[in-house]
């Protein structure tokens, strides 16, 4: 299942980036499961990583290698997360990096490894290494669709987003790919996501752009509240457009940040639309809170409530479950008589009870939609937040009961 129809995979290539996806038979036969991305020398790379204490071996290695500031390759495999694998896992990730470096004439630390898939199984290193010559041979600047396909696990659709923006009469391109359908509640990091631009950006500005964009996109998603051991989001600037962008709030910077956020938001919301078993795309807005924290507390309480999510699956305007979720969010001194709850544009709760004029048919109309907005007005401040989530369907249970078996 997935919400809506798959968007056409239109994209702009990014000068300085070449990609390949090959079948290494890591877990499934004859599907692309190993992606190699080559980054032009002189590029600047920024990354954020999972906050899970049990972070995967490739996350540890990628973080170390990134710190050396001369990344030339991303090597991404699906089918095996190389997580919960201890020291062996790190050795395995390093062996893969060495093999790429040997073939390219680089140093091992210029290769960043990424893995996604089942936790706790040994990475099939030989199969990966044996597939590398084929991957090198297939590197082209147009393989974006294939690469987006090659990093998927339980996703049903590849996720690509691409934008061009004119800055000082020159064209700047931003193109990204992402994967992720379950175990999704990024925590200051995200699922596997790789965004590239040909703009020329210094490290400090790039780090800032990445943090800001992630915070407003991937860090506002939840499928099931489970944070992965392997989340990574990388932003790479090759500089080959010749257009300089600095984080100095000028016009060029504004334009670039807006286009960048657009790409991040499209990738992030597409993760939710393709969330495991998703039949609904749900926006939870919490407005008029005292601060970010309490708005997010209420938003996630609703977005992660199994009872709200099963009601969404059933298209049942069972607003009592939303009200109960707001009530258990733990806000101090919440004046429930002031809280207003809306489904789409329809007010469903006022003064702690059904809103005057609300009728079941109105709620039903909203619930029948594939894209649903739940809005809470807390009426105790001026802070607003928004998170995205999916419903909890039979297919979510089926996918997660069957996965691995």
Q: Which of 160, 177, 299, 331 binds a second copy (CB under 8 A)?
A: 331
Q: Which of 148, 183, 192, 272 binds a second copy (CB under 8 A)?
A: 183
**Cα–Cα distance measured from residue 263 to residue 265, given in angstroms and rounded to the nearest whole number:** 5
Residue closer to a second copy by CB (options 32, 317) is: 317
Token look-up 């099963």 returns 310
Per the rule left: phi > 0, alpha: psi between -120 and 50, beta: everything else, 79 is left
Q: How far is the CB of 381 from a second copy (least distance, A)?
A: 16
Residue 69 CA, chain-centre distance (Å), reads: 24
**Cα–Cα distance measured from residue 11 to residue 15, given in angstroms and rounded to the nearest whole number:** 13
**Cα–Cα distance measured from residue 230 to residue 244, given in angstroms and rounded to the nearest whole number:** 32
Asked if 321 is part of the footprint of a second copy (rule: CB under 8 A), the reply reads: yes
The binding track of 244-283 with respect to a second copy, each residue x by CB under 8 A or -, is ----------------------------------------
The pair of structure tokens assigned to 212 is: 């800001």
Please tell me what DSSP assigns to residue 359. -
Q: Which of 352, 369, 370, 371 binds a second copy (CB under 8 A)?
A: 352
Asked if 393 is part of the footprint of a second copy (rule: CB under 8 A), the reply reads: yes
The radius of gyration of the chain from alpha carbons, rounded to an integer in Å, stands at 22
Segment contacting a second copy (CB under 8 A): 204-212, 238-246, 262-270, 318-326?
A: 318-326
Instruction: Give the Cα-Cα-Cα angle 385, 388, 392 (nearest 5 degrees).
Output: 135
Q: Which residues contact 298 (CB under 8 A, 6 or more apart)?
A: 286, 289, 325, 326, 329, 331, 376, 378
Determine the 3-state secondary structure of 303 from DSSP. Answer: helix
Q: Which of 216, 334, 365, 373 binds a second copy (CB under 8 A)?
A: 334
Residue closer to a second copy by CB (options 169, 332) is: 332
Q: How far is the CB of 55 from a second copy (least distance, A)?
A: 7
Asked if 28 is part of the footprint of a second copy (rule: CB under 8 A), the reply reads: no
Annotated catalytic residues are: 190
Residues near a second copy, by CB under 8 A: 51-55, 81, 83-89, 118-120, 182-183, 185, 187, 224-229, 304-307, 310-311, 313-314, 316, 318-321, 323-329, 331, 334, 336, 349, 351-354, 392-394, 396-398, 400-405
């Amino acid at each position: 299942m997935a919400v809506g129809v798959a968007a056409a995979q239109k994209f702009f290539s990014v000068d300085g980036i070449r990609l390949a996806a090959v079948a290494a038979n890591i877990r499934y036969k004859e599907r692309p499961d190993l992606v190699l991305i080559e980054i032009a020398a002189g590029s600047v790379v920024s990354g954020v990583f999972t906050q899970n204490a049990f972070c995967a071996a490739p996350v540890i290695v990628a973080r170390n290698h990134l710190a050396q500031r001369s990344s030339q390759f991303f090597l991404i495999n699906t089918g095996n997360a190389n997580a919960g694998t201890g020291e062996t896992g790190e050795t395995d990730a390093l062996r893969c990096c060495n093999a790429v470096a040997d073939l390219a004439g680089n140093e091992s630390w210029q290769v960043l490894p990424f893995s996604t898939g089942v936790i706790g199984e040994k990475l099939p290193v030989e199969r990966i290494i044996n597939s590398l010559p084929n991957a090198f041979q297939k590197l082209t600047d147009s393989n974006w669709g294939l690469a987006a396909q090659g990093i998927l696990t339980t996703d049903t659709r590849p996720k690509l987003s691409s934008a061009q923006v004119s800055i000082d009469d020159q064209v700047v391109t931003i193109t990204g790919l992402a994967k992720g359908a379950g175990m999704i509640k990024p925590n200051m990091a995200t699922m596997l996501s790789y965004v590239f631009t040909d703009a020329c950006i210094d490290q400090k500005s790039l780090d800032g752009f990445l943090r800001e964009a992630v915070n407003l996109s991937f860090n506002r998603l939840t499928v099931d509240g489970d944070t992965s051991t392997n989340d990574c989001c990388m932003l790479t600037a090759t500089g080959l457009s010749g257009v300089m962008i600095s984080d100095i709030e000028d016009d060029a910077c504004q334009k670039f940040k807006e286009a960048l956020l657009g790409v991040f938001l499209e990738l992030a919301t597409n993760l939710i639309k393709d969330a495991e078993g998703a039949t609904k795309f749900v926006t939870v807005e919490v407005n008029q809170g005292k601060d970010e924290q309490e708005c997010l507390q209420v938003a996630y309480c609703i977005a992660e409530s199994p009872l709200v999510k099963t009601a969404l699956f059933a298209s049942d305007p069972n607003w009592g479950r939303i009200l109960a979720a707001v009530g258990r969010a733990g806000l101090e001194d919440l004046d429930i008589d002031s809280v207003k709850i809306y489904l789409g544009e329809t007010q469903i709760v006022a003064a702690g009870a059904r809103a005057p004029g609300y009728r079941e048919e109105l709620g039903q109309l909203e619930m029948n939609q594939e894209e649903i907005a739940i809005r809470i007005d807390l009426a105790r401040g001026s802070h607003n937040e928004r998170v995205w989530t999916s419903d909890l369907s039979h297919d979510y249970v089926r996918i997660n009961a069957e996965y691995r078996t």
